[in-house]
Amino acid sequence: MLGTLSKMKSTLGDVVEYQLPVGEGLIPLNPLIGKALKLTHTGNIFCDACGKKTKKSYSQGHCYPCMKKLARCDMCIMKPETCHYAKGTCREPEWGESNCMVPHYVYLSNTSGLKVGITRHTQLPTRWIDQGATQALAILKVKTRQISGLVEIALAEMVADKTNWRAMLKGDNHSIDLKSEAERLLPSIEARINELLALYGEDAVERLDEELVNIQYPMTQYPTKISSHNFDKDPVVEGTLLGIKGQYLIFDTGVINIRKFTSYEVSVETS
């Protein structure tokens, strides 16, 4: 199969089911675990937004002009607390209304350890799977992306807000009592939450009482040493597929982050 890569699609079940989008096609990946798999980059990259050929990928699959003009590529996506929609300077106000001025969740997860994160209300449990979380718990529902970022900053003073991807890929962590962690952390930011309620309204932040979500990945063997495949350095990635976790394909020859190579044109060969 030949086409451009997109991030893997996932479905939560007893074990996460993965599919690899290649152009218009989808390749079921779970049946390929334990088998030979070869991905070859043709050298072509096509912008995920406008479809034009680009020499380099920016902001996960965009050409330079699209990276500069699209709201999805603005710095506030990485740092939601810097959202400037209210100032009237959003690059694409309609996109902002659909993606940022909508409910978001603040959550705790177990990736490479305890972590706080945020995501749009439509992205659970996908966001947790993409990050390789083995446990996750939504703890707050907030009115906008900016508010979620402001809450995350407060919690990040006490707990990590980034995943150590190498540690995440080396195996599952010991279980964490995420409900107890939430009970420990939330009182510490109560004053900040009250400030946000005063600024943005009484419905700006809602406390949740959700069930813990456990996630199991299709793995036959975890790597003891992490070496990364990179299409920019070597166009061919091949080996026996040992498993999948987060957005990583794990081979006996190394790992590759599929999301990093969004819009790269590849041919896929299976045994």
pLDDT tens digit sequence for 183-208: 999 999 999 999 999 999 999 999 99
For residue 21, give both structure tokens: 């989008």
Pick out the chain residues at pLDDT < 70: none
- Domain boundaries of the chain, sorted by first residue: 2-66+218-270, 103-214
pTM listed for this prediction = 0.95
pLDDT score, position 271: 81
CA neighbor of 45 nearest in space, from 264, 260, 236, 267: 264
Burial 97-130 (b: 16+ CB within 10 A, else e): eebbbebbbbbbbbbbebbbbbbbeeebbbbbbb
Give residue-wise pLDDT tens across range 147-164.
999 999 999 999 999 999
Question: 138: which 2 tokens?
Answer: 């939504």
